[in-house]
Every structure is written in structure tokens, then in C-alpha cells.
Structure 1
Amino acid sequence: MIGLVLAAGAGRRLRPYTDTLPKALVPIDPETTPLDLTLANFAEVGVTDVAVVVGYAAAAIEARVAELQDRYGVRLELVHNDKAEIWNNAYSLWCARDLLKQGVILANGDTVHPASVERILLAARGDARRIVLALDTVKPLADEEMKVVWDEATGVRSITKLMDPATATGEYIGVTLIEPDAADELAAALRETWERDPDQYYEDGYQVLVDAGFRIDVAPIGTVDWVEIDNHADLARAREIVCPS
């Protein structure tokens, strides 16, 4: 099992930081970025081989590889997404398709969350589960969240932002456990997704799997502080979480 971070995005709503940095390196405090926090989480749960998909401002991550490896005791491999500035993240995850065969904990590079999320996903392994989504079933939902409908009998039935929040089981927080025997089917679903529309999310690839009869499960994360950093308000919330007064 390895860690996999999607860190290719431009994050235009976080300018001026992202004039020169990818979202994953936007400073939460002078010593901490979302990528730092994710690597620390992986190391805490014993996941020390990590691949990072890079694209926009990739040189900024490349320049920090040695430092990040030393700081967190991980080994980093960079995977280059050549279309990061024009295509969405279904293609970004597909770029790492060969690594999926090792089994991965996937984390979006803009998500701040505690290591308890990774621990919960690892504890959910077994019982023929092949893909498990970290799900917040506590947070009130609105239109922008990546919402999930799940039931015990069939697993995930729907994952999309385009859903009435009142019908959702919870919000997918951008962290997934993917077992090796899901790799080929997921890679094919991702390819189908970005070939149909390069602007699609990798979660749309999950929906392709679900529609084909592939069972996807969820692991509720409980009441935890986390945030997806899309804009400056989200960044302020991340700073509250990481640096509480």
C-alpha cells in the first residue's frame, strides 16, 4: 500500500499564492502546506512510499522533494500530468494508473484532514471491499460539496456535486482507499471518463464503476476538523484548524 497525492491543479481562486505555486504548496503557516500535512499523515500510519501527481508549477514541488523526504521519512515519486492546466482530475488520477496496482491511499492535494482519516480507511480493509471512500456524514451539505448516496445493500449509488443535499448520505472528503484488484477497472473507468469529457472529475470515474455494477464502499470519519482548500475563505479555515488560537 502506497500513498498517492493529486497535486497537479492550478488553484486559480487562491491567487496570488498560486501565481507561482500549485494548490498543494499554498502556505497554511510558514512551515506547513497541504502537501506537508498529507505526507505527515501517511508517515503516521506507516505509509512511507508516496507518489505525487504534479502538473501546474511542478518545479516548486520538485525543488522540495529532498526536504520533504527527510522531514517525513517518506520516499517520493513524481508522476507528471502534461494536461494539468487544461483538463480536470479524472485524467490526473489516470496518469497514475500503473501505481494503482500496488494499492493506494489517495488524497487530494488540497484537503486538510487528520491522520485519523487514513487510520479509519486502513481499518476498513477486508470483507471484499475494493474501493472505500472517506465520508463525512456529520457536516451540513450545500450545493458545492461532492455528495454521496450509499446504502448497506449495494454500496455507493451516486457520487456527484449535482445532487439535492437532502438526499445525500454525506460528503466525500477527497481521500480513498483503493485495493490492487480494483486498479484495472478503475483505470478503464477513468479513461472512459476523460475521453468523454476532459473536464470531468475522477469521482465521475467512480460513478462509471458504480453504473457498471462495481461496489464502492464508504468509511464514515466521525466528527473531525477538515477542509478542502478551494478559495481564500477555505484557506483561512485551514489556518484555524492547523494553528488554533
Structure 2
Amino acid sequence: MIGLVLAAGAGRRLRPYTDTLPKALVPIGPGTTVLDLTLANYAEVGITDVAVVVGYAAAAVESRVREFEQRYGVRLELVHNDKAETWNNAYSLWCARDLLANGVLLANGDTVHPASVQRALLDARGGDRRMVLALDTEKDLADEEMKVTWSAGSGVERITKLMDPGAATGEYIGVTLIEPAAAADLADALRATWERDPHLYYEDGYQFLVDKGFRIDVTPIGTVDWVEIDNRADLLRAREIVCP
């Protein structure tokens, strides 16, 4: 199993921080970025082969590959998304489709979270589970969150921001375990998703799978300090988490 990080987006709501950097490299502490934290998480759970999907400001990541490899004891492979500034992340994840057969722990490049999230997903492996989402079932939800409904009988039923928060089981935090057995189905679903609308999220690809009868499971992450960095307020929260 390898680590996979989506770090191709432009992060326009974080300008001027992202004028020359992808969100994954915006500083959130002394010498620390989201990519630093994610690579450290992978290394902590024993995953040392990591692929990073790059696009916007890719050269900033490329210039730090050797530094990251030496600092965290990982081997990095970069996957280039040539449409990162105009298309959404369903296409970005599809760009890494050839790596899915290895089994991957996927993490969004804008989510600050502890290694306990990766551990929870790895602990959830087994049986016939092919995909498992990290779910925050503790947080009070509003309109912006990526909400999930799940049942023991059928697994994930809906994953969308466009849901009544009161109906949701929890919030998907942007970290997924994808087993090799899911690789072909997920790649096909992602392609169908971006072909339908290149501005869709990869979570729309997950919903496509669910609608086709593919079971996706979840695992709760417990009470965890984490944040998805979309704007300056989120960036401040990330800095509070990293430097309390």
C-alpha cells in the first residue's frame, strides 16, 4: 500500500499565500506545511512510498522532493495533472489511476489531521471492504461540509455537500483507504464523473459507485483536532492545531 496526496489545486481563496505555492505548501507552522504533516503521518504508520498529484505551482513541490524524502524517510513520485487550474479533483484523482492497483491511503492536500486517522483506516481493513472513508461523527455540521449518510446494511448511501446536516451520519474529512480490489471500478467511476462535468469532485465519483451498487464503508476518527484549509480562517485554525 502507498500513500497518495492530492496537491494540484490553485487554492484561490488563500491568496496571496497561494500566488506562488499550492495549498499543500502554505506554511502552517515553523518549517511545516500540510504536505509535511501528511508525509510524517504516512511514515508514522509505516507507509514509505508516496505519490503526490501536482498541477498548480508544481515546480514548488518538485524543488522540495529530495528534502521531503530525506526528512521523512519516504520515496516520492509526482503525478502531473495538466488541467489542475481549470478542472476539479475528480480528474486529479483519475490522473493517479494507474497507482490505485497498489492500494492507497488517499489524503487531500489541504487537510490537517493526526496520524491516528491513517491508523484508524488501516485498522478498518479486512473482510470484503474495498473502500473505507474517514468520518468525523462528532462535529456539528453545516452547509459547507462533505456530508455522508451510512448504514450497516448498505454502507455509504449518500456523499455530498448538498444534504440536510441533520440527516448526515458525519463528515468525510478527505482521507480514504482504497484497496486494490476497488481500483478498476473507481477509475471507471472517476472517468465517468469528469466526462459528465469536469468541475465535479472525486466524491461525486464515490457517489457514482454507490449508485451502481458498489459498497463503500466508513470508520469514525473519534474526537480529533483537524481542519480542511479552504480560507484564511481555516488557515488560522490549522496554525492553532499545529502550534497550540
The TM tier, using the shorter chain, reads over 0.9
Alignment partner, residue 164 of structure 2: 164
Alignment partner, residue 140 of structure 2: 140
**In structure 2, how many angstroms separate the alpha carbons of the residues matched to 1:25 and 1:70?**
17
**In structure 1, how many angstroms separate the alpha carbons of the residues matched to 2:101 and 2:178?**
9
**In structure 2, how many angstroms separate the alpha carbons of the residues matched to 1:19 and 1:47?**
31
Alignment partner, residue 120 of structure 2: 120
Give a deviation string over 1:137-160, Cα, whole Å, max 9, x none. Answer: 000000000000000000000000
Aligned AA for 1:17?
Y
**In structure 2, how many angstroms separate the alpha carbons of the residues matched to 1:84 and 1:123?**
33
SS in 2 for 1:210: helix
**In structure 2, how many angstroms separate the alpha carbons of the residues matched to 1:227 and 1:64?**
24
Aligned AA for 1:235?
L
Alignment partner, residue 196 of structure 1: 196
* TM score, norm. by length of structure 1: 0.99
Aligned AA for 2:128?
A
Give the CA RMSD over aligned residues: 0.3
Deviation, 1:30, is: 2.9
Aligned AA for 2:236?
A
Stretches of structure 2 lacking an aligned partner (at least 5 in a row): none
Structure-to-structure mapping, 1:1-245, within 5 angstroms: 1-244=1-244
Give a deviation string over 1:182-225, Cα, whole Å, max 9, x none. Answer: 00000000000000000000000000000000000000000000
Give a deviation string over 1:46-89, Cα, whole Å, max 9, x none. Answer: 00000000000000000000000000000000000000000000
Aligned AA for 1:83?
K
Aligned AA for 2:107?
A
How many residues align? The count is 244
* TM score, norm. by length of structure 2: 1.00
**In structure 2, how many angstroms separate the alpha carbons of the residues matched to 1:69 and 1:111?**
20
**In structure 1, how many angstroms separate the alpha carbons of the residues matched to 2:232 and 2:26?**
10
Aligned AA for 2:196?
R
**In structure 2, how many angstroms separate the alpha carbons of the residues matched to 1:55 and 1:119?**
28
Give a deviation string over 1:96-141, Cα, whole Å, max 9, x none. Answer: 0000000000000000000000000000000110000000000000
Aligned AA for 1:202?
Y
Deviation, 1:29, is: 1.5
**In structure 1, how many angstroms separate the alpha carbons of the residues matched to 2:53 and 2:188?**
18
Aligned AA for 1:118?
Q
Task: Determine what percentage of the aligned residue pairs are the same residue.
Answer: 82
Aligned AA for 1:139?
K
**In structure 1, how many angstroms separate the alpha carbons of the residues matched to 2:50 and 2:29?**
23
